[in-house]
Amino acid sequence: MILLDSSILIELFRKQDKAKTSFYKLAQANNDLCISSITHYEIGIGNRKSHVEYWDSLCENLRVLPFDKACSNGAISIYMELLKSNKMIDLADILIGATAVTYSIPIATLNIKHFDRIKGLEIIK
64 neighbors 99 (Cβ within 8 angstroms): no
How many angstroms separate the CA atoms of 101 and 120, rounded?
7
pTM (two decimals): 0.90
Q: What is the pLDDT of residues 67-124, one digit of tens each?
A: 999 999 999 999 999 999 999 999 999 999 999 999 999 999 999 999 999 999 999 9
Gap between the Cα atoms of 37 and 98, Å rounded: 12
What CATH superfamily is the domain 2-124? 5'-nuclease (3.40.50.1010)
